[in-house]
Amino acid sequence: MSLSPANTPLIAVLVRTFEELNAPLTVSIRSIWIGKGTAPDGKTVLQNQLILTAQRFVNIRESSDKEKQRYFEEICKCFNLPCEGEMFPLRGQRFFDGDMLQRVNRTPASVSYLEAYDSRYGTNFADKARHALFQFANLIIKSDGKVSPSEEAALSKFKETVYPPGSIALKEIDEITSKEPEEPVKEVETEPLRSLEDLLAELNSLIGLELVKDEVKHLVNFLKVQQMRRAKGMSALPVSRHLVFYGNPGTGKTTVARLLAQIYRALEILSTGHLLETDRAGLVAGYVGQTALKVKEVVNKALGGILFIDEAYALNSGDGKDFGQEAVETLLKMMEDHRHDLVVVVAGYTGKMDEFLSSNPGLRSRFNKFIHFEDYTAEQLKEVFESFCKKADFKLTTATEEKLASVFNALTAFRDEAFGNARAARNLFEATISKQANRIVSLPDVNEEVLSTIEAMDIPEAEEMQTRTDQVFAKN
């Protein structure tokens, strides 16, 4: 029984958190102490709580007394706790049924003192203590990769003790511990190495995005020249390779990021050229210490490629209890630590992204290349629709093309943030295929020509598509 290396980051975070709690805890104890003698300091009170908690949860492990003792000593060493003498067996089972269980199964004194401090100074140290104590117990229970029924029951009882019923902090922990594991990170497998010419040709073949294509070409030319300078022993200009993609949804940001990752690989700037896509859910946790770990895990997976953070401005959401800023600060540090084999692309709406970059001085200095993705025109959306048809072996009549142009003109005339650009074209294509199927399924004679032809009547009206969009947003 032992703590694995994977626990090291969490232990480091918890140690820092407990150290941070010492000062306010000492102030609170001294201001309201009514016991005999001199008031203890915060460090002593917190250490006693941790030792008591460690003894309790180590004792219910399914292992020998010798193994429990060794594990308890390891916990004490990791958290700088005094550890004297043989602790197991601890006066037999009666000790845990009586005095010790009473002390463990009541609100920790450290939390009560910090609640008083928070009430006086408007801080949030009590919740930090709750989260850290629960994570401390959680670490002891789960470090061996299995949880017995008795361990689960004890941890549940401890959670009820630490968190007041109905509190926001309890709801946050319940959401984290009860929901199914999420898959917020979308990883694209590394593709075979392709030539720069091939990749640029694919970029040029994309519909629309003329300004984006020019920006990427300028960036590629600049990087190639810097490589030429280095090859000749000349100094190259230091430049950040991280980028900001401005624009509305469905304007090709992810597609271009995927191509750019491979372009960087072809230029030998990145080692693998894969794309890792994530968002706020993939980076921010709901309790102390876990956000930094999530960010580090995601960044480590992205090394050698591009980390694409969609709707990055969402990291600024929430109030003072939110861990979005912790995610940003951890990300900035890792960008610096891995600057030679990591590129980060943050993406989102133009106005919101500007606010995001202004939220932290380090963001502006890391991201100095901005690429704006314009909305698609009605004609370009028609081309996108036609490309879907070509890939799926559908053809359009002249009347259908005229109807299609009319629908896209109507949809783009009143576009807002709900308009999905290329996604709107895909939605229209899928709705069209559905209508075509409903039309031909009952026909007496269905041949290949009928199956492959989209008639004008198969194209939904603009009002119908707008209603569908409104319904989706109403549900969300």
Q: Which domain holds residue 163?
A: 5-178
pLDDT score recorded for residue 400: 94
Treating both helix axes as pointing N-terminal to C-terminal, what angle do 125-142 and 109-121 enclose, rounded to 10 degrees? 150
pLDDT score recorded for residue 345: 94
220/118 same-domain check? no
Is residue 411 in a domain?
yes
pTM of model > 0.75: no
Dihedral pair phi/psi, residue 268, rounded to 5°: 65, 30
CATH number at residue 206: 3.40.50.300
Total domains in the fold of the chain: 3
CATH number at residue 408: 1.10.8.60
Q: Answer with the one of 152, 178, 204 that is the final residue of a domain.
A: 178
Q: Answer with the one of 328, 353, 373 that is the final residue of a domain.
A: 373
Is residue 274 in a domain?
yes
Residue by residue, pLDDT tens for the chain (476 residues) are 567 666 777 788 788 888 888 888 888 888 877 666 777 888 888 888 888 888 888 888 777 888 888 888 888 888 888 876 665 654 444 334 444 444 445 577 888 888 888 787 778 788 888 888 888 888 888 776 667 788 888 888 888 888 766 554 454 455 444 444 444 555 555 667 889 999 999 999 999 999 999 999 998 998 889 888 888 888 877 777 899 998 888 899 999 999 999 999 998 888 888 999 998 888 887 655 678 888 888 998 899 999 999 988 888 765 444 577 888 888 998 888 888 889 999 998 888 888 888 887 788 888 878 999 999 999 999 999 999 999 999 999 999 999 999 999 998 888 876 678 898 899 899 999 999 999 998 888 889 998 999 999 999 988 887 765 554 444 44
Nearest Cα to Cα of residue 256 among 212, 208, 298, 214 = 212
pLDDT score recorded for residue 260: 93
pLDDT score recorded for residue 393: 92
273/241 same-domain check? yes
165/215 same-domain check? no
Is residue 327 in a domain?
no
Please check whether residue 126 is in contact with residue 115, taking contact to mean a CB–CB distance below 8 angstroms.
yes
